[in-house]
Structure 1
Amino acid sequence: MKSMTGFAALERRDEHSHRSWDVRSVNARGLDIRVRLPDGVDGLEKEVRAALSAAVARGNVSLSLKVTPAGGDAPLRVSPDALSAVLTSLKNVEAEAHAHGMTLAPMSAADILGLRGVLEVGTGAIVTVPLEVLISDLANLIESFNLMRAEEGAALRGILSAQVDEIERLTDAAVDLAQARSDHMAKVFAEAVARVQEANADPEKTAHDIAALAVKADVTEEIDRLRAHVIAARALLEIDGPVGRKFDFLTQEFNREANTMCSKAQFSALTEVGLSLKTVIDQMREQVQNVE
């Protein structure tokens, strides 16, 4: 079991380049891969997408790579096009302000250089790194990434396992309450029959209606299905691979049975067990959202 949430970073240096990698992911319904790569790494995006698709089944995954010369950060230069556009815009703004009787404070050169896009990385800073070197980096990065996701997945498995145990305990408690509830329901039905007899109602129709109510109030099927879902959940916890979608569906089934039990209960102790089940199942559903 792996978590859909993860992060890994990798730094590599050699005589020619300094390479900074990072990859991170959050939960998502499907697999969405976003890649940010510098110039001079032709063919790498295809390798990145293939490697991530093989390593990750679900999640919103973002990977970025920054490559700079080994001697330090890339030099900066003024972008002539951006500077011209900025100066033209400033001139137009000043003219419009003057037409409205306004005087604007002058901007310094430092102010202009601080505007977005005016300074850019020099074209001479592009560093060519052999594709096989980058692929080796990528393999190490994904290995660290999957290790972190597996560690978080192990923690999730422990939490989910404890929640399944609690669901089983509450289901067993519902079974123990079944006999007490049966005695309670028998008393309720007997009192109902007595009232009906006093009203001289049709005895045959009354018996039929009471039998129908007894069937509708029976929670045996819900208990049996809860037990079956517990078995299915434990089986999913043992699978070595993506199980998030199946577990999410299973939590919906758990919740359906707990809701039905509450609606049928008509017995405070059983209602309390049903509400406790719903609480645990809601907590489980939140955890399952992070399972790959």
Structure 2
Amino acid sequence: MPHSMTAFARTEQTDTFGTLQVELRSVNQRYLEPHFRLPETLRDLEPDFREALRGRLARGKVECHLRFTPADADARLSVNRTRLETLANALGDVRDSVPQAAMPDALALLNHPGVLDIPGPDMDLVKAEARTLFRTALDDLEAGRAREGDKLAALIDARLDGILEQIVEVRRLLPDILARQRDQLLERLESARTELDPQRLEAEMVLVAQKADVAEELDRLDTHVAEVRRQLASQGPVGRRLDFLMQELNREANTLSSKSVVADTSRCAVELKVLIEQMREQIQNIE
């Protein structure tokens, strides 16, 4: 079944190291176009994320946002006593040598590099969890694209039914169309008071029949409808193939319209174009 290119997924995890959140948002795009917003401390994860996207998605503009909030470290502050004693001894030497020098207060001592230990999170662990969380978000995104794709397939299938109905209607009308064309030709010849040369009349009727004969167009429409349904039932990206098939369907509808000699076939051709355009709009969002 086809996948849509529109979906959204968000996953979040809170652990001893803090909180991680991954947000993925995808919209339709001709090619796969990922955009990443990552914290500087986790910037080196981008190649892994990019590779994961390429392995799962074929098309779409995908915005990837990773947020990381470290756990509050205030409660785990500790003083490096060895460093502090070393600093105090150094300050004592300064005081002995320069008695008039001002000594730092306690807060200044804590701000000295190495005196206050502020343990940070294990970044290797954070990165490993971020990779896992990203895969989970990607699973959710792909599932969302699949659900949306099912809905699009149902809409397209309904339009295909409408096309088949129009094909049946035109086929039903063909004998009447040819008969009416013959009557109209005879009326024109009679009104012009033209001598009814049997050979000339037969030649004119052949030309009219050729112009009004849309059997080939109807057969090709049937074939294209069957191929669209085959693509909808297949696995993998099918959006570009479906877009091509819409062009082929539209070409046959245009030919049918150009061959139309009565209002009934013109009406059917217009209805075909409407249905094809409705499908084309939906297919623009299929991967």
Superposition TM-score tier, normalisation by shorter sequence: 0.7 to 0.9
Rounded Cα–Cα distance in structure 2 between residues aligned with 1:132 and 1:12: 12
User: What SS is found at the alignment partner of 1:41?
Assistant: helix
The number of residues matched between the two structures is 240
- Does the C-alpha gap of structure 1 residues 129 and 204 become closer, same or farther in structure 2, counting only changes over 3 Å? same
1:209 CA drift (Å):
5.6
AA aligned opposite 1:190: L
- Does structure 1 residue 225 correspond to structure 2 residue 226? no
AA aligned opposite 1:266: V
1:40-59 → structure 2 map (5 Å cutoff): 40-59=41-60
- Does structure 1 residue 168 correspond to structure 2 residue 164? yes
Gap runs ≥5 in structure 2: 74-118
Rounded Cα–Cα distance in structure 2 between residues aligned with 1:63 and 1:125: 25
Rounded Cα–Cα distance in structure 1 between residues aligned with 2:120 and 2:196: 96
1:163 CA drift (Å):
1.1
Q: Larger radius of gyration, structure 1 or 2?
A: 2
Provide the residue aligned with 1:138 in structure 2: 134
Cα deviation code 1:237-260 (max 9, x no counterpart): 111221111111111111111121
- Does the C-alpha gap of structure 1 residues 125 and 250 become closer, same or farther in structure 2, counting only changes over 3 Å? farther
1:188 CA drift (Å):
2.1
- Which of 110, 121, 146 is the aligned partner of 1:150? 146
Rounded Cα–Cα distance in structure 2 between residues aligned with 1:5 and 1:165: 25
- Does structure 1 residue 8 correspond to structure 2 residue 25? no
Cα deviation code 1:125-173 (max 9, x no counterpart): 9983533222111110100111111111111111111111111111111
1:139-218 → structure 2 map (5 Å cutoff): 139-194=135-190, 198-199=193-194, 208=203, 211-218=206-213
RMSD over aligned Cα atoms? 2.4
The normalised TM-score by structure 1 is: 0.75
Please say if residues 25 and 64 of structure 2, whose CA atoms lie closer than 8 Å, have aligned partners that are also in contact: yes
Rounded Cα–Cα distance in structure 2 between residues aligned with 1:205 and 1:49: 72
Provide the residue aligned with 1:242 in structure 2: 237
- Does the C-alpha gap of structure 1 residues 214 and 193 become closer, same or farther in structure 2, counting only changes over 3 Å? farther
Provide the residue aligned with 1:60 in structure 2: 61
Rounded Cα–Cα distance in structure 2 between residues aligned with 1:152 and 1:273: 30
Rounded Cα–Cα distance in structure 1 between residues aligned with 2:134 and 2:229: 35
Please say if residues 178 and 209 of structure 2, whose CA atoms lie closer than 8 Å, have aligned partners that are also in contact: no
Rounded Cα–Cα distance in structure 2 between residues aligned with 1:125 and 1:27: 40
The normalised TM-score by structure 2 is: 0.76
Rounded Cα–Cα distance in structure 1 between residues aligned with 2:122 and 2:27: 31
Please say if residues 18 and 69 of structure 1, whose CA atoms lie closer than 8 Å, have aligned partners that are also in contact: yes
Gap runs ≥5 in structure 1: 73-123
1:15-54 → structure 2 map (5 Å cutoff): 15-54=16-55
Provide the residue aligned with 1:103 in structure 2: none
Provide the residue aligned with 1:77 in structure 2: none
Provide the residue aligned with 1:121 in structure 2: none
1:43 CA drift (Å):
3.2
Please say if residues 156 and 287 of structure 1, whose CA atoms lie closer than 8 Å, have aligned partners that are also in contact: yes
AA aligned opposite 2:10: A
1:243-258 → structure 2 map (5 Å cutoff): 243-258=238-253
Rounded Cα–Cα distance in structure 2 between residues aligned with 1:199 and 1:158: 56
Rounded Cα–Cα distance in structure 2 between residues aligned with 1:3 and 1:125: 41
Rounded Cα–Cα distance in structure 1 between residues aligned with 2:40 and 2:255: 59
Provide the residue aligned with 2:77 in structure 1: none
1:203 CA drift (Å):
7.9
Cα deviation code 1:84-105 (max 9, x no counterpart): xxxxxxxxxxxxxxxxxxxxxx
Please say if residues 68 and 125 of structure 1, whose CA atoms lie closer than 8 Å, have aligned partners that are also in contact: no
